[in-house]
Copies of this chain bind each other. A is one copy, B any other.
Amino acid sequence: MNTFGDNIKLCVFGQSHAACIGVTIDGLPSGTQVDEEYVAKIMALRAPGNSAIATRRKEPDKVEFLSGVVDGKTVGTSVCAIIRNSDSHSSDYSGIFKKPRPSHADFPAYVRYGENFDLRGGGQFSGRLTAPICIAGAIALSNLEKIGVSVSCHVNSVGEVEDVPFSPTEDEKDLAEKLGGMAFPVIDEKAGEKMIETITKASEQLDSVGGVIECKITGLPTGLGEPMFCGIENVISRMMFGIPAVKGIEFGAGFAGSKLRGSQYNDSYYYDENGKVRTKTNNAGGICAGMATGMPVIFRVAIKPTPSIAKAQETVDLATCKNTVIEIKGRHDPCIASRASVVVRAAAAFAIYDLLQN
């Protein structure tokens, strides 16, 4: 289902070649601020074509609020917001239907839906459908900011190039603000330059490359998170795998932590100078038993290389039942990590905002 949330439910709709894509948001408390400028800012960061290495499509991703908002505030009924589709080149996708693109939705969707699905431009499986998540996430982000909750992301790695990680124990408010305005958010600008080189090189070789995004959330009330299946990790992970390219998620020390001993991993408690209980390390990523410990929540998601590459690839011809080769035309991002970082940030914000309504 395209529906997410326990207290506030978002429902994503649309296909990349329908009249529009959009989202309904049911359950936003009446009087919740909807700052259309803030939403536009987030959409601009996610939009294609905003950096040298992104796809050349120029979709403005202009958001229209059709209902539920009056004078910048919700009125207690469902919010519906849409983005009209304009710049589509349907012909680019001719022939794909019978020659499934490797590592795309094409083949399982064909088996599942027969011919009853909309393949054009990735149809309902397009990365473009993360834009509606960003609308809901942007509303969440601006309202979280008001209550002192900050959500920020950076591109942690592209291929083998790594950025400096977030500090697991410090708040880094200034860094969060800086990253929030960057189209290609990195902590170490040098690393960022190398990443772009890596992406450019892959692109020139008709190829793509993957990456990792790191997300940090500060300001959560200690104890946030419901038991067992509705803890912070459960809801964030469920949300993250709704973003097409995500193939892994780890909190705190994550997989590296599994190699440690308990005495290395465990986060010792201490009283800081202000009498606040803190931990010396934060291998737990700010979460124990699904609940916020009061330390920053930190997680990383693995982003697979963009599956659409210009290089010839082996596949099957479902019409002739023979092995064949496909060359994918069209304009595709050689690396989705920077744009996905906006989506990860917005999606995490929505999941947390929903959890905070309990």
Q: Known contacts A24-B13, A31-B113, A103-B284; is A124 also within 8 Å of B227 by CB?
A: yes
B279 and A102 contacting across the interface, CB-CB below 8 Å:
yes
Interface residues of A in 107-134 (CB under 8 A from B): 107-109, 111-114, 116-118, 123-125, 129
> How many interface residues does A have (CB within 8 Å)?
141
Interface: A181 (CB within 8 A):
no
Docked complex Cα distance between A224 and B124 (Å)? 16
Instruction: Select A66's contact among B13, B79, B305, beta carbons within 8 Å.
Output: B13
Tell me the chain A residues, 190-226 only, with Cβ under 8 Å from chain B: 202, 207-212, 222-226
Asked whether, in the complex, the Cβ of A229 is within 8 Å of the Cβ of B255, the reply is no
Q: How far is the CB of A278 from chain B (nearest CB, A)?
A: 9
Contact with B along A116-159 (1 / 0, CB 8 A): 11100001110001000000000000000000000000000101
* A38-46, A164-172, A264-272 - the one binding chain B: A264-272
- CB closest residue in chain B, given A77: B124
A300 to B275, CA, bound (A): 40
CB <8 Å contact, B248 and A31? no
- Asked whether, in the complex, the Cβ of B1 is within 8 Å of the Cβ of A309, the reply is no
**What residues of B have a CB within 8 angstroms of the CB of A112 in the complex?**
30, 76, 222-224, 291
Excluding A112-B224, A229-B239, A237-B241, 5 further A-B contacts by CB distance (< 8 Å) are A103-B265, A238-B238, A247-B254, A261-B305, A269-B316
- Sampled A-B contacts (6; CB under 8 Å): A1-B26, A18-B68, A76-B116, A234-B242, A257-B302, A268-B314
